[in-house]
Structure 1
Amino acid sequence: MSDERTCPSCASGGTAVGAHESGSSRWTCFACGTCELQYWSPREIIPEFYADPAQVNYARRRQGEIFLRERHKMFLRRASPGRLFDVGCGEGGFLAAARDQGFEVAGIDLDPGSAEIARGRGLEVNVGFLFDDAGALHDGIDAARPYDWVTAFEVLEHQADPLHFLRLVKGLLAEGGTLCGSVPNRDRFLVAADRARNSGDRPPHHFLYFSATSLETLLRAAGFKHVEVLPLPETDLTDFATYIEVATTGGLSRRMRESAANAAHGGARQNHGASRSWRRHLKQAARVVKNLPFYPAALAVRTLAPRKARGLYFEASFR
């Protein structure tokens, strides 16, 4: 089977469960009844998409912000220093933290702007696809020096052919090396409401929806023998409450807060520095206050249903 219904993980036939249109492009979502993967067709990665400043999440990264998500912290808690390569490294915040923890680091990203910021931090970062269409490794990466760790945080869900990608990534690993990464959890709390308001979880951004079962199945199909898939803990309760608020109300309170802050900014232009500091602290305080009604739900899910977390973390080795 080789048509658009073919599951990219197990090659079974899928059932159409949804559709999405953007401009002149149209995609169909299929669900595999064999391995549980959900996937969009057609799947074509658009490099220019990741360098488009109109994409808010990526624009934020290009401003040089340094922050570690729980997925990065989880890796750094569990891994011992060694040679590390990060696929989709962005502006290099995670690589910089890993370097400070004793890792020998390098990475690659599709966005030239993000790579430029990473290089400004003294990091070895290439631009482009890790592999070309023929499966050849990027010419800026030395295949003769394999890595103890390859990380791919929020990368697999973007792949047109995830099985092929994973099999190629195996070639970067040294004997005893491990692939680690994360993906959005298809079974996360309020997933339907989140997708209705989040265009980033649809093509041309995300092509694959993983459950813990379908993720493990894919990794094993790629030849990894030792696989562990874990829910990413919702350690930041304020952030999780914000997610619930946005999913259920569409971020109404955020829009109201931004409108008020913009009005205040307009009246304080003569004292720009003080205004900027005041607005930042106001937003931080307002973020906590506005989400107070959503904290009980966030705490309940975190405590009673950890598998409903927003992300899945995985580790996979083949020896």
Structure 2
Amino acid sequence: MKSNSYVECPICRTEVKKDGFIEAYESPFNNQKYELYECPECELQWWEPLRMVPEFYENDVFNLYTSFHEGVRTKIGQNHKAFLKYFPGKIKGKLLDIGCGDGIFLREAQKHGFEVWGIDFDKKSVEVVKKSLGVETVYPMSLEEFCEFAKEKNVKFDVVTFFEVLEHQDKLRNFLEMVKSLLKEGGYIAGSVPNRERLFSEVDWKYFNGDYPPHHFLRFSKGALENTLKLVGFSNVEVYKLDFPKEELPAYIEKKVFGSGIDRLKVILKGKALQNQKLANAVKVEDMDKINPSPYYRILKLLKGFRNKLLFPMTLAYSYKLKGRGIYLYFQARLRNV
């Protein structure tokens, strides 16, 4: 029986002293106090209480999904580009993307010869994906529901991807076991998580609540992610520390130097331009002209150009720190044959 003086690592089950947390945090969403622990064996960091809060997503995710519904994104992310760069080119077949959002990655996977499937809890995004890709194999389901559906239909996958999904899990082993149940023998997984050792991590943690509970419960280093995947039965584990993208430097330096004041001004101007505050919080300046090219958009573009010139000398100072210090860790692995 586990002692009340200890908490248990969610992946390797090593016990850590309850008073041995490395950080404390109080969420503005639910006023819950959380404590961050690091496992001395597998290196995983996790927050306690490790318990997902469904109400957080019901109240918050619509803002995040607003840009998905508008269909304004045209460029895949750095994490998706890593898949196209590192994943074995000879592997094709059925690919399932968990948390597919607006389907921007599925579109690329389809172009590269995969039979694409997807799941997402957001019904409107699922309809957007079906229409844009011309497929019916995208479902508004949880992973648990889809596992039952796949079992009934006797469907298995050559590849299962999950980008920026693993860090949300409060039952990490259970999630990965369900993923394994969906794979064919020798099938692959691939995806990404935030890199806890990334450049400007302190900026993210100071000005954004995104990398904190009840949004993110897990923090991974390269070693922690490798250990996690090996412990649950994957082989050929590869984890890549992506470089920090140069184009993101001005935005992060702005936060570091000026705080969040300029960002608040930009959101106000975007709100006036789009007449939609939720969309203003979600959409990037460069994507606004696809929705409403108003005078406010032109002002924002001028401000962005001025900011980039003003901060250019500082971006040069950071240019040698970009290697392996990117926002994401990309991973891929193979289901170990029994």
Question: Which residue pairs with 2:70 in the alignment?
Answer: 63
Q: Are 1:194 and 2:231 counterparts?
A: no
2:7 aligned to 5, 8, 17, which one?
Answer: 5
Alpha-carbon distance, 1:178 to partner? 1.1
Question: Which residue pairs with 1:104 in the alignment?
Answer: 115
Q: Alignment identity in percent? A: 34
Q: Secondary structure at the match of 1:43?
A: coil
Q: Secondary structure at the match of 1:33?
A: coil
Q: Distance in 2 between matches of 1:5 and 1:47?
A: 23
Correspondences of 1:110-129 after superposition (within 5 Å): 110-121=121-132, 122-123=134-135, 124-129=137-142
Alpha-carbon distance, 1:11 to partner? 1.1
Alpha-carbon distance, 1:107 to partner? 0.9
Long gaps (5+) in structure 2: 276-288
Alpha-carbon distance, 1:194 to partner? 1.4
Whether the 8 Å CA contact 1:149–1:177 is kept in 2: the answer is yes
Q: Distance in 2 between matches of 1:200 and 1:42?
A: 17
TM-score normalized by structure 2?
A: 0.79
Matching residue's letter, 1:289: F
Question: Which residue pairs with 1:16 in the alignment?
Answer: 21
Q: Residues 158-210 of structure 1, C-alpha deviation per residue, up to 9 Å, x if partnerless?
A: 00121221122112222332100100011111212311211111111100011
TM-score normalized by structure 1?
A: 0.84
Question: Which residue pairs with 1:317 in the alignment?
Answer: 334
Whether the 8 Å CA contact 2:76–2:105 is kept in 1: the answer is yes
Structure 1 pair 92/295, CA: closer, same or farther in 2 (3 Å)?
same
Matching residue's letter, 2:40: G
Q: Secondary structure at the match of 2:234?
A: coil
**RMSD between superposed Cα atoms in Å:** 3.1
Q: Residues 65-95 of structure 1, C-alpha deviation per residue, up to 9 Å, x if partnerless?
A: 3331111122123343321100111121211
Q: Distance in 1 between matches of 2:169 and 2:238?
A: 20
Aligned residues: 310
Q: Secondary structure at the match of 1:205?
A: coil
Alpha-carbon distance, 1:281 to partner? 4.6
Q: Secondary structure at the match of 2:106?
A: helix
Moved more, 49-58 or 257-266: 257-266
Matching residue's letter, 1:144: N
Q: Distance in 2 between matches of 1:189 and 1:312?
A: 12
Question: Which residue pairs with 1:30 in the alignment?
Answer: 37
Matching residue's letter, 2:49: P
Question: Which residue pairs with 2:192 in the alignment?
Answer: 182
Matching residue's letter, 1:107: G
Structure 1 pair 6/119, CA: closer, same or farther in 2 (3 Å)?
same
Correspondences of 1:1-319 after superposition (within 5 Å): 1=2, 5-14=7-16, 15-17=20-22, 18-21=24-27, 22-52=29-59, 56-66=63-73, 67-79=75-87, 80=89, 81-121=92-132, 122-123=134-135, 124-131=137-144, 137-139=147-149, 144-235=154-245, 237-257=246-266, 276-295=293-312, 298=315, 301=318, 303-319=320-336
Structure 1 pair 85/127, CA: closer, same or farther in 2 (3 Å)?
same
Whether the 8 Å CA contact 1:265–1:275 is kept in 2: the answer is yes
Q: Secondary structure at the match of 1:199?
A: coil
Q: Secondary structure at the match of 1:29?
A: strand
Moved more, 89-98 or 60-69: 60-69
Alpha-carbon distance, 1:277 to partner? 4.8
Alpha-carbon distance, 1:255 to partner? 3.5
Whether the 8 Å CA contact 1:232–1:313 is kept in 2: the answer is yes
